[in-house]
Amino acid sequence: MADVGATGAEIRATRIEKAKTLQAQGMNPYAYRWERTHTAAVLQEKYAHLAAGEAVGDRVSVAGRIMARRVFGKLAFFTLQDDSGTIQLYLDKQTISQGMGEAAFADLKHLTDVGDILGAVGTLKRTEKGELSVVVESYTMLTKSLLPLPDKWHGLTDVEKRYRQRYVDLIVNPHVRDTFRKRALITAAIRRYLNEQGFIEIETPVLQAEAGGAEARPFITYHNTLEMQLYLRIATELHLKRLIVGGFEKVYELGRIFRNEGISTKHNPEFTSIEIYQAYADYNDMMTLTEAIITTAAMEVLGTLKMTYQGETIDLTPPWRRVTMHDGVLEATGIDFRQLSDLAAAKTAAQKVGVKDLDTCDTIGRVLNEVFEQTVEPTLIQPTFVLDYPVEISPLAKPHRSQPGLVERFELFIVGREHANSFSELTDPLDQRQRLEEQARRKAAGDLEAHSVDEDFLTALEHGMPPTGGLGIGIDRLVMLLTDSPSIRDVIAFPLLRPESAGGQV
RNA sequence: GGGUCGCUAGCUCAGCGGUAGAGCACUCGGCUUUUAACCGAUUGGUCUUGGGUUCGAAUCCCAGGCGACCCA
C-alpha cells in the first residue's frame, strides 16, 4: 500500500486494503453487534465530578464513529461520536498491549481512520487537560468506513451536497441532528396534546380519485389494475369531514401532503400538515386550540414562549392579536374595502398603493386578498390571527354569521408567513354544492388550482354534518420557526432535488 | 417563468489569457497529555458539460447541467 495518492478513489482503495488486513487478522471489519454499557452523554454526566487527572476503575464499553484522531508515538486520542454526544478515547500503547497484544497499538495507528465505527472497552479517567476519557484496554472495528469525511474544521457547507448527502451532513453537523430531534419532539408533543384532549388520529387516503380540499395542483399517478388515473392528496380535509359526518367528534391527521408546485425556501412538493376537526366548535374555538398547540410545541423544544427567529424577537405568549382582513388592509393602506362596491374602483385603489398582479382578480374579494397578501402579510411578525375572508376564496368555509360576503375563517401569521388556516366549516350541503360548482367553472376556464367537485363528499354532507371547527397547521413551517431554520429544506431530512444526472448530458 | 451569483484536489477555498495552487484530509517517518495536536517528507486535478474566440482558455464568448438567492 505504499505510494498511495490522495484522490477519492485512492483513499477508498487504501481503506479497502485496511479492511482486508483487519479481516486477515481475524477482525471482521463489519461486525454483527456490540454490547455497549454507556452512551457518551451518560458517561459525561455520570463522571462529571471527576477532577482533571483523576481516574476510576469502573469498566465501561462504548461505541461510535471516530471523528478525530490525534496520534503520538505511543499514545493516541480519538474523539468518538455517538447519537448522544462525544467521548474521548485515551489509547496508550502499554494498556492496549496488555489487553490485546503487542501489535494492537500499531494496528490502531495504521488500520483505523476518521469515519470508522469503533467499539472500545476500558476504564475512565479525566485527562490532565480536563477531557473525560475511556482508557482503552481493547477495541474492535465495528464498521470500516471507505470514504473520507469532509474537512474537520470547515465541515460540509456546500448546501447542495448537504441536501444530496444528508447522511454526511448529519455526521459532521451536530446542529442538523438537533433540528430533526426537535422536529420529532414537536410532532410528538402535538399528538400527545391532542390525544389528551380526546382527539383521535385517523389516517385517510393519499391516493384519491379527486384531489380536493385545497387550491393546488395535484400529482397524478396511475393504478394499473383499476386502470384509472389517481391523484396524490393535496389536503386531508374532505375525508376528515366525512369522519365527522360518521360520528367522530374530534379527529385529526398529521401526515404528508403533495402539491405539484414550485420549490423554494418555503415550499417543498411534499410537506407535512396537521388537520384537526372538532364537532360543535367554531373558528373562535379553533383560535384557542391553535394557541394551545403551538405554545405546547414551543415549550417542548424551547422551554419558553419568548424566542428569536432569524434575529427577530417573537413573543408567543397568548392571547395573540386578532384583526379582521378588512381592518388589517385599512391600517396598512388606508383603503376601506367595506366602502367599495365596484370592482374597477377596488382595482384602482389597490394600484394606487402599489399592489401588482391584479389582472386575474375578477371580484372585489380577490382584490382585497391580493392587497392583503402584498401589503399586510409581510408585516405580521408577531403571531396574528387574520379573520373573516372573502367567500369567493374560501369555498369550504361557513358564511360569516353577521358579515355578508365574508366567511368565518382565520389564518395565523408569524414572521410574515402563514402558519395555520381555519374555518367554521361549511355544513350546508346545497351551499357547498354551489361553491364547488363555481370552482369547477373556474377550473374549466383554465384555473389549474381551482377545487374539483367531490360528489361523495357532497353526499356525506347531505347526511348531515354537525357544526364543526376545522384547523390546519403547516408542520414544516412550525418546525422552521421553532428551530430558527431559514429554509424548509433544513427541516425536511431529504428535500426534493433534481437528480444530478438529469437532463441534457450530451 | 425572469434576474443575479456559484460550480477548481475527498473537504474548505485561492487563482480570472501564458506550465494547476494553499490549508485540512490521505501516505511515509518522528513524537506518551492531545482536543483544528505538532515537526518533517511525499502525494493528490477530465478546473460542471459541450461548442467557440485565441499562437495559447480554469480564466473571454455562446449554449447546456446542477444549485443558491431575489423577483413573479
ipTM of the complex: 0.92
Q: Would the Cβ of A359 be found within 7 angstroms of any atom in strand B?
A: no
Cis peptide before A466 (omega within 30 of 0): no
Statement: the CB of A360 is under 7 Å from strand B = no
Task: List the pLDDT tens digit at each of the 506 positions of chain A.
Answer: 323 346 888 899 999 999 999 999 999 999 999 999 999 999 999 999 999 999 999 999 999 999 999 999 999 999 999 999 999 999 999 999 999 998 999 999 999 999 999 999 999 999 999 999 999 999 999 999 999 999 888 889 999 999 999 999 999 999 999 999 999 999 999 999 999 999 999 999 999 998 889 988 899 999 999 999 999 999 999 999 999 999 999 999 999 999 998 889 999 999 999 999 999 999 999 999 999 999 999 999 999 999 999 989 999 999 999 999 999 999 999 999 999 989 999 999 999 998 888 888 889 999 999 999 999 999 999 999 999 999 999 999 999 999 999 999 999 999 999 999 999 999 999 999 999 999 999 988 888 888 889 999 999 999 999 999 999 999 999 999 999 999 999 999 999 998 876 443 33
Asked if strand B comes closer than 7 Å to A98 Cβ, the answer is no
Q: Work out if A430's Cβ lies within 7 angstroms of strand B.
A: no
Q: What is the tally of helices (H) and strands (E) in chain A?
A: 15, 18
Cβ proximity of A61 and A38 under 8 Å: yes
| Three-class DSSP category at A488 | helix
Q: Helices A104-111 and A8-24 sit at what angle, rounded to 10 degrees?
A: 160
Distance A409 CA to B71 C1' (A): 30
Residue nearest to nucleotide B9 (CA to C1'): A7
What pairs with residue A139 in β-bridges?
A120
The answer to whether strand B lies under 7 Å from the CB of residue A93 is yes
Residue at the smallest CA–C1' distance to nucleotide B10: A8
Give me the residue label for grid cell 354532507.
A461
As a whole number of angstroms, the distance between CA A95 and CA A137 comes to 6
Distance A44 CA to B3 C1' (A): 52
Q: Which of A2, A30, A23 lies closest to A14 in space, CA to CA?
A: A2
Termini Cα distance of chain A = 38
- CB neighbour class for A168 (10 Å; exposed up to 12, middle 13-18, buried from 19): middle
Give A92 CA → B12 C1' in Å.
32
How many Å does it take to go from CA A323 to C1' B60?
A: 57
CA A166 to C1' B14 (Å) is 28
- What's the CA–C1' distance between A20 and B11, in Å? 26
Q: Using the CB atom, is residue A486 less than 7 Å from strand B?
A: yes
Which protein residue's Cα is closest to nucleotide B33 at C1'?
A128
Model pTM?
Answer: 0.94
Q: How many CB atoms lie within 10 A of CB A371?
A: 27
- Measured to protein CB atoms, the chain B nucleotides within 7 Å are 1, 6, 9-13, 23-28, 30-38, 43-46, 49-50, 64-72
Q: Where are the beta strands (DSSP E) in A365-405?
A: 384-390
Strand B lies under 7 A from the Cβ of residue A139: no
Rounded to the nearest 10°, the torsion over CA A431, A435, A438, A443 is -150
